[in-house]
Amino acid sequence: MALFIHISVCYAIKAMAHTSEELGRYLVASRDLTPGDLVLTERPLVFGPKGMLDPEEVMPCVGCYKPVLTEAGERCAKCGWPVCSGNCPGLKDPRHHAAECEILSLRSECALNDMADYYRHDALLPLRCVLLQKTDPEGWKKLLEMQSHMECRTPGTEAYDEANEFIFEYLMNNFVSKLDEKQKKTFEITAELLHRICGIIDTNALEIRLPQGSELNALYAETYKMEHSCVPNTKHTFNLSAKDRKDLYKITIKAVVPIVKDHHISTMYSHALWGTQARRQHLKDTKYFACKCPRCSDPTELGTYLSAMRCLGDGNNSCDGIHLPDDPLDDETDWSCNKCPAKVSNSQVNMVISQMGEDVENVLMMGGSVTVLENLLFRLSNFLHPNHYHLYTIKHSLVQLYGRQPGYQTKEILEKKIKMCRELIAVTKALDPGNARLSLYNSVLQHELHSALVMKFKNGLKDEEVKPLLIEAKLAVEDALYSLKDDIEEVSGKKLQCVIEDSKHQFEKLCKQKNLQHIQRFTLYSLKNMEDKNGSGVLAYHLVQSLDDDVGRHLVASRDLSPGDVVLTERPLVFGPKAMLDPEVAMPCVGCYKPVFTESGERCSKCGWPVCSGNCPGLKDSRHHGAECEILSLRPECVLKNMADYYRCALLQKTDPEGWKQLLDLQSHMECRTPGSDIYEEANEFIVEYLINNFINKMDEKLRKTYEITSELLHRICGIIDTNALEIRLPQGTELSALYAITCKMEHSCMPNTKHTSFAFNPKDKNDLYEITIKAVVPIMKDNHIATMYSHALWGTQARRQHLKDSKYFACKCPRCSDPTELGTYLSAMKCLGNENKPCDGIHLPEDPLDDETDWVGNKCPVRVSSSQVNMIMSQMGEDVEAVLMMDGSVTILENLLCRLAMFLHPNHYYMYSLKHSLVQLYGREQGYTSMDILDKKIKMCRELISITKALDPGNARLSLYNTVLQHELHSALLMKCKNIVVAKAEEIKTLLTEAKSAIEDALKSVKDDLEEVSGKRLQSVLDEIVSLIPRLENSSNALLDSLPLIPSLFSKSSSSEKAAEIRVPIQPTSSFISVDTLYYPVCVPRYSGVYSRHPRSSTSTASRNYSYHHHVTSVTIIPDHEGATAVSLMHVTCVIPQYTHPARITTPNFMSSTHLGGYDLDLAALRSVPAIALIIGNHCYFCLLLENNNDSSSASISTCLSTY
């Protein structure tokens, strides 16, 4: 059940009253949230000061919390507690000191010999909580709703005894015992209540650090419901300088990463730079729960290895492996090496880490010098992973000393600092991608990186090294400032901002002095037909001339962009059809590109080229066929070769002079297309000579003056098209190539941050035909590059890079290509077979993935494989995979090939992915492959493929259809498993149904931007059919789940020889009427062959093919029952999911001999078998019998609802 809590303003949350013992009530997003979106803002219920570190010297003012001298400071005139001034405004404010002053004044004597014991500031917040009974009754009720975990704070526990001594006894002995009868009636103060309040504060209070150095604890009525995660999706800030005193300490919570509707909203109650054991122990001690978040569940802590230890091997053999916890959620788990059988007990790890922690703390407390820190770093590095949190702490201090402390400013030290900064930034970003908790750490590191890069520049560099170095320096200083944007009210944040802004100013000044102003980014131009779809009045990008020759001109974000934000939308400069796969049979109409029969189709009356109709509107449109028709008509004989859009580009000289200039501004890479090269000769034969011989040579003088068309120009146009054109797949099956003036300047990345979400196929304005819309799919920070992908996301690194070299003339060096593991997916990895003498279970990865001739090395043995050998093996395997997929292989064929390839390839290899992607669409459908074991295999395979897909394409930029198909198949398998489960607990069914619902919702979300594509549209129609059933489920799912334990025989098998336990299920009257007709839907699944053709004009992947899945469901009608209906004994009922399987027949010998059922007189004894169906609509289950009278020649079928849950 959902409890929706209305806050003073409608924010992006709703609070859920959940039955989970771990979470209790929690907050979920009521809509999709993007980074920066406001989640909620609220004033505190109550707040109070914490004690100072040295209370003998200074204490906080009880009115405004400024530090005041303990002995010499002023005192409140009424109660005698320390204040900054007798005129402090907080002294008369009931939310600060006014309410408590009356109570505190009851103790008149002052023990000057022990000021810290007399002025117990930690006791003020519990006292203020108690006083809410009088000052804010509504707030008091909200406070009592908070968790106190009193079951964990029983007498004898450390938390109880500490609260008892320092809070309860202090307040009771010094103040509460002195209350008069009138005061005692105003509010309740008991030992139980004070201990409960202490529990509430310890569990729910947030810490506020004030600019003057003191600290507060505060309680918030809604914020406390946010659950914890070590990878939080929100960040909170406090208003420390409000104009209205009522808004003082008001909290503001914003999303830092995209949060999908109904997903949990989380914060973090521990330190992000502690290791898993330290975080979990802290949370157990202070918040009374054991964290099981994704980071805590991952032994590597999101791939950072923040807690990992080096393996020292045993006494005989050394080892370079690392120790990780076998089960990080088990506090007593052993730590195992990833390369040898050595194990270390958890107690040994804790002892070592604890001792090292003390060493690190002592050194940092002393303000260690570079020498001291380096010595400790060297010593600990023998035992800890380079990214261990103790080493992170030391390195974070070192990078702030390198380049500043005398003797540590050499070139080698600068290089060391730059390397260390980059490594620490990578760890920080992985742990906190949204700057929720580590913004100050990241800001310091980025600033130190900037400083080191600038210092390196000043020391002198080669010309080719200057450009990328200064660009990195500029990006670093801007990232440092950006990270601080929410922390400037904090003292440390404000000071750091001043330092960084000064560095940025000095950097700009340096660029100007060195005549390097062009380092600063600038806008070249924007198109007139561009629109700002986000309503901010500012284009989402600018075009930049990069100093890096590898990048050239590119687009960068002109502001922070969130997923879904429109980056740009523009019309094509020019477009034209590509040849059909079988031009002897069909060709595209030159006006609208519909397929027409090559021989029997109509022709344009002027030029004789194929058209769908003489009335096709595109024939007179200059952007389609209108302008070219005059030229094509110069050759009277029929010419039916592919002209594509080469000639239309040349015609822009007349039809669109401005577009012609923009076209010539595009890259052609003519330096790579010289005479004699394959690409040049092919263009010369099939395009240049064809156009010149058949058309250009026949132009009269007037036409020749209108257009400049030379062989050099045509070759350049061919280069421009091959390098920049985008492919558009039309609904009717044909394909176009189109050029876009701005879009083509987006750089490539194998991890793109944008998606071409649509091409306008049916616009209201015909001038908008094929207009492209590009949206962000992940957060893009201001000034970060905007990237797309010009290769296939499911190819391995070598295939992608070779394709880009052949077709786009550059070598990709993106993070994915640079990572031998391809973002941890191992998409190209091969198994290591060892040598003749010793087998090996390791894997082969490229030593340097950016080197095409690199060797492939094993991660567990010294065996090496040359790149040529790998290419040969991959090529052969690719042919096998393509051959099987081309002939639509059966499960047996696919499994045999999968088994064979699995001997040589990593389970995640892209060939294995292709085979598995096909298999999951056959499991559960192909005859003989519907068993429970197959379903479990399918579910496991779907989850693994989804994990790979998400890792490669977290924003659904390129693999949305793949993800949609996988989520849909996972959904269907989970429902089928629900149907086939024999013995199940309610929670198990609920878990499966919840995952199934989540999968189908993810599938729909993934395909939302692909609806103009035929395959995307078909997939959505399937998903909509399923999702439309979900709302009907949620009205009665709880009743179904509650009933499961009461009717175990419904989910237990009984052999025919055994007498079944009798269950009498009364027929319940119902007015519901549901008819589920036979379902049929075709699914067009994109299939990747796994083989890539090196020829740049060849198809780089197998064309999509239609795969039709027929899911027949007998029409089921639920008929209202009549009075007098009797109970029926059931032996066994099989749940059937109507979308996917046929109802199963069961033999039911224990039916009564006759009954009056729903108005029909039936002789049940004449029934030999009875088909039974449990119709599941969402989670709503209807148990039905399909009754057939076998003696009746008409075989009439009657469907009657026996029981509705």
Give Cβ neighbours of residue 25 (< 8 Å, ≥ 6 apart). Answer: 3, 15, 16, 17, 18, 225
**Amino acid 636: pLDDT:** 53
Give the separation between CA 742 and CA 539, rounded to whole angstroms.
12
DSSP state of 1117: B
Backbone angles phi, psi at 437, to 5 degrees: -125, -20
CA-based radius of gyration for the chain:
36
End-to-end CA distance of the chain: 17
Distance between CA atoms of residues 1183 and 1068, nearest Å: 11
Q: What is the pLDDT, as a whole number, of residue 906?
A: 93
DSSP string, 639-693: --S--TTHHHHHHHHHH-HHHHHHHHTS---GGGS-TTSHHHHHHIIIIIHHHHH
The Cα–Cα gap between 862 and 882 comes to 33
3-state secondary structure 781-800: CCCCECEECCCCCCCCHHHH
**Under a CB-based contact definition with an 8 Å cutoff, are residues 736 and 727 in contact?**
yes
How remote is the C-alpha of 1140 from its chain's centroid? 30
In angstroms, the CA 1136 to CA 977 distance is 10
Question: What is the per-residue pLDDT for 508?
Answer: 82
CATH code linked to domain 524-571+740-788: 2.170.270.10
Half-sphere exposure of 67 (CA within 13 A, CB side): 16
3-state SS class at 107: coil
> Cα–Cα distance between 88 and 857 in angstroms, integer?
71
**Contact yes or no for 295/301 (Cβ under 8 A):** yes
**Phi and psi at residue 1197, to the nearest 5°:** -115, 130
> According to the model, what pLDDT value does residue 1055 have?
32
* Number of other residues whose CB lies within 10 A of the CB of residue 947: 14
Q: How far is 310 from 320, CA to CA, in rounded Å? A: 7
CA dist 325 and 346 (Å) reads 8
1200 to 583, 717, 1126, 1136: CA distances (angstroms): 57, 70, 13, 16
Q: Is 259 helix (H, G, I), strand (E, B) or coil?
A: strand
- Please give the structure tokens belonging to residue 1126: 């009797």
User: Vertex 268, ends 265 and 270: CA angle to 5°?
Assistant: 165
d(C-alpha 762, C-alpha 163), whole Å? 71
Domain edges within the chain:
44-219, 399-520, 524-571+740-788, 572-739, 1046-1078+1113-1204
Cβ neighbours of residue 123 under 8 Å, at least 6 residues apart?
166, 167, 170, 171
Pairing of strands 747-748, 787-788: parallel
Q: Which helix (H) or strand (E) holds 350?
A: helix 346-365
Q: What angle, 0 to 180 degrees and rounded to 10, lies between the N-to-C axes of helices 960-980 and 1014-1027?
A: 30
Burial of 829 from C-beta contacts in 10 A (0-12 / 13-18 / 19+): buried
Residue of 917, 929, 858 whose CA lies nearest to 891: 929
CB-side neighbour CA atoms (13 Å) of 1085: 25
- Residue 49 sits at the vertex; the CA angle it makes with 47 and 51, to the nearest 5 degrees, is 150
Segments in the chain below pLDDT 50: 1-10, 15-19, 111-113, 518-538, 542, 545-548, 638-645, 1029, 1032-1205
Is 109 exposed, middle or buried, given 0-12, 13-18 or 19+ CB atoms closer than 10 A? exposed
C-alpha–C-alpha distance, residues 1204 and 1036, integer Å:
9
Q: What is the pTM of this model?
A: 0.52
* Residue whose C-alpha is closest to residue 632's, from 611, 613, 663: 611
On whether the CB atoms of residues 758 and 569 are closer than 8 A, the answer is: no
Distance between CA 812 and CA 751 in Å, rounded?
A: 11
What 3-state class would DSSP assign to 890?
Answer: coil
- The rounded distance, in Å, linking the Cα atoms of 409 and 550 is 31
Report which residue type is found at 440: L
